[in-house]
């Protein structure tokens, strides 16, 4: 394989575009830098795709579509299974790469590799389960036959916070269903996506089935592809703001869409909860990935009698976390991904403090290089504080107290988002009642982690449309074709 390689410490990674099974420079010759969030220094430079490159990728994906759709499901599944095995064999190397370009702590990066690889294993197994339906029409006039067919060429757009898992969560089901894809990774973290492309090629995925286009002109590149009638689906994970833009663009050609958008997860703790379990759950829900997760607990609502103890013990645990470069084995919290992200977290905390919040721990951005922010706990907020309305995307836990179940549910639903919610209670009936009443696509009931490749992941309200993972994840890449038959 040709192609310029990144001179990084994580092994050798291709840094060109991946189109039609080949590593190729951008047609303009342009490249862009990828930064190390721990220092702000340049880590590598990668090819910068433009609209002409986007068309080459669509050509490649369209040319490969018919043969891949006709490839036996078992063969498609076995390529995914092999990709799972290769990711598992290279877990340490991949984790280091993720940590280098994203900043997250190695333990988080290792967790991501396991999670990401599982999507390949799960969809290797699902590839053979694209079953249809045969039934008799209620009138008795004919049979109803429903077959599932691949949607076709898909554009996949992913964020920087889980550079491996957000890619495999889309590529796995797309390939299992018989679709071909063009992946446009986030420009902060393109190296992991390029490493995925190399693994899929090695696993036996034919040329053109998977194409990867790093680009600094994401808007132009994606919109050029969505305007091409050969593209039949866009699956996007990222902010609600960009999701709205893509939904509007997809409307032009009536392109099938899946949208995994922003979150603003409430974390509700009732006084009857097992407090140790609630604190363990809070640490996972808040601090997985340093708080840079769409599923991150963004707002803590704690019932009044236990609020003081919960806040104090959460602050103790948060303040004991080791902050440092993600690639350092001792680190538990790495830097945030870039300057904009850390500046936003800093300003949300400053505004909250100005509005009367009390800092129990953290709350001050350290001087020096890198995009660090300390684990922070805020109390004394009122239910309408601005920090509760926005996705913080950092290691900050604002805590509000409540006095009744109704109030807790009202607070939890006081957002335009509806991705995930966490509820802790020792009363199962209450737990299920509140889980049903909260407007969210997912609920962690006495659990701080919901993500699982075998379960349907996704949101309601402005958190998105569609589901990834589980059997639903496969259906997102299949069309149901109904054939009315007389026999």
Candidate list 464, 469, 470, 473; residue touching ligand NAP; CB under 6 A: 464
Q: Does 273 bind ligand NAP (CB under 6 A)?
A: no
Nearest to 265 by CA among 429, 470, 460: 460
Give the residue from 21, 327, 393, 10 showing the smallest Cα distance to 191. Answer: 10
Name which position in 64, 242, 323, 399 contacts ligand NAP (CB under 6 A).
242
Catalytic positions, written as ranges: 260
Residue count (the chain) = 487
Q: Which of 237, 258, 379, 435 binds ligand NAP (CB under 6 A)?
A: 237
Judged by CB under 6 A, the residue of 35, 87, 113, 157 near ligand NAP is 157
Dihedral angle sign, alpha carbons of residues 333, 334, 336, 342: positive
Comparing CB distances to ligand NAP, the nearer of 195 and 306 is 195
**Tokens describing residue 301:** 């609502």
Q: Which is nearer to ligand NAP, 215 or 376 (CB)?
A: 215
C-alpha to C-alpha distance for 360 and 379, rounded to whole angstroms: 7
Distance CA 239, CA 186 (A): 12
User: In this structure, what are the phi and psi dihedrals at residue 213, rounded to the nearest 5 degrees?
Assistant: -125, 85
Rounded distance between C-alpha atoms, residue 370 and residue 389, angstroms: 27
- Of 219 and 369, nearer to ligand NAP (C-beta) is 219
The distance of closest approach from Cβ of residue 236 to ligand NAP in the complex, given in angstroms and rounded to an integer, is 7
- Out of 72, 219, 369, 386, name the contact with ligand NAP by CB under 6 A: 219
Any idea which residue has 């909860």 for tokens?
273
Nearer to ligand NAP, 8 or 391 (CB): 391
The single residue among 245, 343, 359, 432 that binds ligand NAP, judged by CB under 6 A, is 245
**CB 459 → ligand NAP: shortest distance, Å?**
6
- Find the binder of ligand NAP among 15, 192, 218, 331 (CB under 6 A): 218
Of positions 261, 283, 287, 396, contacts ligand NAP by CB under 6 A: 261
What's the Cα-to-Cα distance from 160 to each of 1, 237, 442, rounded to whole Å?
A: 26, 10, 22
Residue 61 vs 242, nearer CB to ligand NAP: 242
Sheet strands (E) in 231-383 = 231-237, 256-260, 265-269, 297-303, 358-361, 376-379
Site for ligand NAP in 394-453 (CB under 6 A): 419
Q: Quick one: 42 or 483, whose CB is closer to ligand NAP?
A: 42
Per CB under 6 A, the list member of 50, 99, 102, 161 interacting with ligand NAP is 161
| Buried-state track 358-383, b at ≥16 Cβ within 10 A, e below 16 | ebbbbbebeeeebbbbbbbbbbbbee
Does 239 help bind ligand NAP (rule: CB under 6 A)? yes
Structural element, H or E, at residue 387: none
Who's near 389: CB < 8 A, 6+ residues apart?
Answer: 264, 415
- For ligand NAP, which stretch binds (CB under 6 A), given 35-43, 112-120, 198-206, 257-265? 257-265
Please answer whether residues 301 and 268 qualify as being in contact, where contact means their C-beta atoms are separated by less than 8 angstroms: yes
**Alpha-carbon distance 83 to 204, whole Å?**
9
> For residue 210, how many other CB atoms are within 10 A of its CB?
29
CA distance 324 to 368: 12
CB of 400 to ligand NAP, least distance (A): 21
Angle at 138 between CA 135 and CA 139, to 5 degrees: 120
Q: How far apart are CA 190 and CA 212, in angstroms?
A: 9
Nearer to ligand NAP, 249 or 425 (CB): 249
Residue nearest to ligand NAP (CB): 238
Judged by CB under 6 A, the stretch of 185-193, 320-328, 363-371, 473-481 that binds ligand NAP is 185-193
| CB nearer ligand NAP, residue 162 or residue 310 | 162
Taking CB under 6 A as the criterion, which residues in 288-347 touch ligand NAP? Answer: 294
Site string for ligand NAP, 357-396 (x = CB under 6 A): ----------------------------------x-----
Kindly indicate which of the ranges 24-32, 154-162, 171-179, 315-323 contains the residues binding ligand NAP, using the contact rule CB under 6 A: 154-162
Work out how close the CB of 143 gets to ligand NAP at its nearest, in angstroms, rounded to a whole number: 39
State how far the Cα of 17 lies from the Cα of 23, in Å rounded to an integer. Answer: 6
DSSP character at residue 206? P
Q: How far apart are CB 313 and ligand NAP at their closest, in Å?
A: 27
- Taking the least distance from each CB to ligand NAP, the nearer of 20 and 115 is 115
Secondary structure (3-state) at 57: helix
Cα–Cα distances in angstroms (integers) from residue 459 to residues 174, 223, 431, 450, in the given order: 20, 24, 20, 13
Query: Which range touches ligand NAP (CB under 6 A), out of 27-35, 75-83, 130-138, 153-161?
Result: 153-161
Q: Which residues bind ligand NAP (CB under 6 A)?
A: 157-161, 166, 184-188, 218-219, 222, 237-239, 242, 245-246, 260-263, 294, 391, 419, 459, 464
């Amino acid at each position: 394989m040709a192609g310029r390689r990144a001179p990084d410490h994580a092994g050798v990674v291709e840094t060109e575009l991946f189109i039609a099974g080949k590593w190729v420079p951008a047609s303009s010759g342009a490249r862009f830098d990828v930064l190390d969030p721990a220092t702000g220094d340049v880590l590598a430079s990668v090819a910068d795709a433009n609209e002409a490159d986007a068309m080459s990728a669509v050509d490649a994906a369209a040319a490969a579509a018919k043969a891949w759709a006709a490839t036996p499901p078992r063969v498609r599944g076995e390529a995914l299974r092999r990709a799972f095995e290769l990711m598992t064999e290279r877990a340490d190397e991949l984790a280091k790469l993720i940590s280098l370009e994203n900043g997250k702590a190695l333990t988080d990066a290792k967790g991501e590799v396991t999670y990401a690889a599982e999507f390949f294993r799960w969809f290797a197994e699902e590839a053979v389960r694209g079953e249809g339906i045969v039934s008799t029409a209620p009138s008795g006039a004919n049979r109803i036959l429903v077959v599932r067919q691949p949607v076709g060429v898909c554009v996949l757009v992913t964020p920087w916070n889980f550079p491996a898992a957000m890619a495999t969560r889309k590529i796995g089901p797309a390939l299992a269903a018989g679709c071909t894809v063009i992946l446009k990774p986030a420009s902060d973290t393109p190296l992991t996506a390029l490493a995925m492309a190399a693994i899929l090629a090695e696993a036996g995925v034919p040329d053109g089935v998977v194409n990867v286009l790093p680009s600094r002109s994401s808007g132009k590149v994606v919109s050029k592809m969505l305007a091409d009638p050969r593209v039949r689906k866009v699956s996007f994970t990222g902010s609600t703001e960009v999701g709205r833009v893509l939904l509007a663009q997809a409307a032009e050609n009536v392109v099938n869409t899946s949208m995994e958008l922003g979150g603003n997860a409430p974390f509700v703790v009732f006084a009857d909860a097992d407090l140790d379990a609630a604190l363990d759950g809070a640490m996972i829900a808040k601090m997985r990935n340093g708080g840079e997760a769409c599923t991150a607990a963004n707002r803590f609502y704690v019932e009044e009698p236990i609020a003081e103890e919960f806040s104090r013990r959460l602050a103790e645990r948060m303040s004991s976390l080791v902050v440092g470069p993600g690639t350092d084995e001792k680190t538990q919290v790495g830097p945030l991904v870039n300057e904009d992200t850390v500046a936003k977290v800093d300003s949300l905390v400053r505004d909250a403090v100005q509005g009367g919040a009390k800092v129990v721990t953290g709350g001050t951005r350290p001087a020096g290089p890198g995009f660090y922010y300390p684990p922070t706990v805020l109390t004394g907020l009122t239910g309408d504080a601005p920090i509760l309305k926005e996705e913080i995307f950092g290691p900050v836990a604002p805590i509000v107290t409540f006095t009744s179940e109704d109030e807790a549910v009202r607070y939890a639903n006081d957002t335009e988002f509806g991705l995930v919610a966490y509820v802790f209670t020792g009363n199962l009936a209450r737990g299920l009642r509140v889980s049903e009443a909260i407007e969210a696509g997912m609920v962690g009931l006495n659990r701080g982690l919901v993500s699982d490749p075998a379960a349907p992941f996704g949101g309601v309200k402005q958190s998105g449309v569609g589901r990834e993972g589980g059997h639903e994840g496969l259906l997102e890449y299949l069309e149901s074709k109904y054939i009315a038959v007389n026999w």
